[in-house]
A and B are shown apart, each in its own frame.
Chain A
Amino acid sequence: MNFDPRFSGRKFTSVGTRPIRPDGIDKVTGRARYGADFNMAGQLVGRILRSPHAHARIVKIDTSKAEKLAGVKAVITAADLPDLTDGDAAMYDVLDNCMARTKALYDGHAVAAVAAVDARTARQALKLIEVEYELLPHVTDVDEAAKHTAPLINDTIFTEGLEEKPVKPSNVTKRSQFGHGDVHQGFGHADFIVERSFKTEQTHQGYIEPHACVANFSSDGTADLWVCTQGHFVYRQHCAQLLGMEASKLRVTSSEIGGGFGGKTHVWAEPVALALSRKAGRPVKLVMTRDEVFRASGPTSATSIDVKIGARKDGTITAAEATLRYSCGPYAGSWAEIGAMTAFACYKLDNVKTVGYEVLVNRPKTAAYRAPSAPMAAFAVESAVDELAKKIGMDPVDFRIRNAAQEGTRSSYGPVYGPIGIGPTLEAVKSHPHMKAPLGKNQGRGMACGFWFNFGGQTCTDLNIGMDGSVSLAVGTVDVGGSRASLSLVAAEELGIDYAQVKAIVADTSSLGYNDMTDGSRGTFSSSMATISAARNAIKILRERAAQMWDIAVDDVVWEKGHAIAKGEKHGNLGKLSLKEIAVESGKTGGPIAGHSELVADGAGVSFATHICDIEVDPETGATRVLRYTVVQDAGKAVHPTYVEGQYQGGAAQGIGWALNEEYIYGKDGRLQNPGFLDYRIPVCSDLPMIDTQILEIPNPNHPYGVRGVGETSIVPPLAAIANAVSNAAGVRMTHIPMSPPRILAAIEAVREWSK
């Protein structure tokens, strides 16, 4: 990489300010175009037929009646999406998830699709498709599925990661282990030990915008796809591979995104829309209903976690151990592995061991959800940490400060930490006024810590300077949380110009080199690095052009505060040349002025947060009310503080919903019983207090401005912080998420019964 990413400690002019976001007006006036807002002349309506069964062999699909219905232009099944994955097991799973091949693996699994002239005809056609199923026994609970007696979901899977290859297939696809030291010895040195089991139910990312796309396959073999996604380059790769196309023949344009949170990181229905368009010879628009979004896209894992932590009387943790079982849906994943890595990452531990088990269940394919897998592990660990502090008689914040990881600590997942922010977030919480505020009757306060890795990745950016001196910035990372604003600030900072002079867009896949998707909190981290690099490349050109205009050597020209300046006494009579003045003359000095950058933005700094929550519990009904919530998180450097705060608040809001209400509920028949926002209740404004935030800035040494990712860590502590608050308010340790009113009431009544 021809770019030095090291932190330089510079003083900022634009970065750190709070201008209006460039996409704001369109979004609040309804002009912004989301996935379902795009239309083409002659487009057909695509609809998908989904399995009503949790587990069934597909014996036969007869589409002949549907094909004969007037207005139907194409009907497809798995036969129209042949396996072109060439041994790529992960892509095969994506393909099978888009369109079931031999078995329907969950309620909602796609088995066929139609394209028709209107929605009514498409729905009628779905009813005319005859599918003969052979029902198979199913399992939806993670603990039940892990048992040897459970119905097998895939009899070709043998558990990986065991010392000896098992002789029987299993729903447990993989065992992974992390840690160091000797936990057995460590527990021997403990004066107090807490050992508990926890469960969390499956939740959906709850993005308001459903999956939506318009596919247009041309007879010359090229195609266009307009789609709501977190990564249009990744969608291009997936679709091209699954449809047997060259990637360059498929142009993917990303729409505005009404939430993704990890759920829009791989394709769900887009290959189906393209296959329908290819067969029909017309554009096809495919928009999932909310029912489909819940039944057939992106929930996170349900989990079952055992935690054991021991400490000496002085509050030093001597050993920590966790066994984590995460559901993956019907396809192999690495969700428990991530949980096992993150579980104890906040702490300095001499003896730690975590073991993760990936478990197949007859539920939708698990997708990432904002710091995937970390919130559930943090819930279990931070609940046990709180209980242990109480047992020792220490303040929970002091107990965590005593055991917090710091620079030089060996992390529980392996490497030694560089400079990190867990200690400072805890110190900030300790001195925060929220911790001293009085509590009333039936009210409790909880706090908890959280960790996330943050990633970088492949990134490509173009910066073009117009002849009027305005700057257009084309990036390839989808803007999920205000990155067009933050990247415009970065471009303005580097060029030394006003923010209003910069216009950032998300370019389509034919206009820019490959970009990894916006995941792993990488949008601003990665694209800011590429923007800095592109701007510096443009400045080189600007200096050359100024040198031409002055007819002096380029080495005598420096760039300062948006101007070329001739250095040296011999040039003393030359004034400054602004970016605009140089741009105006560009046609006569060599043509357009642009800066380009392609790089791998590695070295994203790990991130920590500590949250505080006050809850009131109604002991008669188990109902809860969040009274006050505070997020303290390390951002490295907040490029646009308002949107950093927005990320903190968004993570906390989603965490509150997850902790208190949200839950996939399956019947004994293996069917999802609550696939809609009426029965799957995410928090609305009236459920939430104003969420306070405090941004800490501990610079990431591997970014020129010190930026770390901020998008994910904020969802890690809420489950635990809220569980600790509810447990303190209700006087009983809560071990099952969500802590819905019936669960809280049952826990309170169990204690009342026990005390009699």
Chain B
Amino acid sequence: MVEVTLWGSLAATAGGNSKVEIEAKDIRELFRKLAEQYPGLEPWIDQGIAVAIDGTIYRDTWSKKLPEGAEIFLLPRLAGG
């Protein structure tokens, strides 16, 4: 079980919850279960969400493991220049 923190706008889509507990071993499972529990998040996941694991931001590595007790933070997927 990992605790996942959602940024402000995303929390509104997840019924106002800024922190949710999810049983997930990697980013792929995290997104799948988030979409199941909070269908409003699905379009956001489709558009792209970045996942910060203990401060390191992952945008595309959906196989990245979520270590027990790690800080998991969802962030907008940003553009660069």
Contact = CB atoms under 8 A, between A and B. Distances in A.
B52 A414 contact: yes
B8 A338 contact: no
Nearest to A599: B61
Contacts of B12: 161, 163
A643 interface: no
B57 A453 contact: yes
A403 interface: no
B80 A415 contact: no
Contacts of B8: 161, 176-179
Contact of B81 (A341, A369, A600, A702): A369
> Binding site of A, secondary structure by majority: helix, strand, loop or mixed?
loop
A417 B61 contact: no
A177 B80 contact: no
A520 interface: yes
Nearest to A516: B60
B63 A415 contact: no
Nearest to B27: A602
Contacts of B55: 411, 415-418
A521 interface: yes
Contacts of A178: 7-8
A346 B22 CA distance: 31
Given A163-B12, A177-B8, A177-B9, A338 B59 contact: no
Contacts of A160: 9
Interface string B43-81: 000000000101111111101100000010101101111
A341 B58 contact: no
B57 A368 contact: no
Contact of B75 (A370, A415, A605): A415
A265 B63 contact: no
Interface string A588-612: 0000000000001011111000000
B28 to A, nearest CB: 13
Contacts of B81: 205, 261-263, 265, 367-372, 519-520, 712
A417 B52 CA distance: 10
B61 A414 contact: no
A338 B57 CA distance: 15
Contact of A415 (B9, B52, B76, B78): B52
Interface in A501-526: 519-522
Nearest to B16: A163
Nearest to A420: B55
Nearest to B79: A368
B58 A520 contact: no
B73 A338 contact: no
A645 interface: no
Interface in A328-380: 334, 337-338, 341, 367-372
Contact of A603 (B56, B73, B76): B56
Nearest to A700: B56
Given A1-B63, A262-B81, A416-B71, A702 B76 contact: no
A174 B44 CA distance: 14
Interface stretch (A17-25, A31-39, A247-255, A455-463): A455-463
Interface centre among A174, A263, A372, A455 (most CB of B within 10 A): A455
Given A415-B55, A416-B54, A604-B57, A455 B73 contact: no
Contacts of A680: none
B71 A519 contact: no
A265 B80 CA distance: 9
B26 to A, nearest CB: 12
A606 B61 CA distance: 17
Contact of B80 (A372, A411, A413): A372
B13 to A, nearest CB: 9
Contacts of B60: 456-458, 600, 602
A639 B43 CA distance: 39
B76 A457 contact: no
A402 interface: no
Contact of B79 (A175, A372, A413): A372
7 contacts: A265-B79, A372-B79, A413-B75, A415-B55, A453-B78, A454-B80, A455-B57
Given A176-B76, A372-B80, 11 more contacts: A176-B9, A205-B81, A261-B81, A265-B79, A368-B80, A414-B7, A415-B75, A416-B54, A600-B60, A712-B80, A712-B81
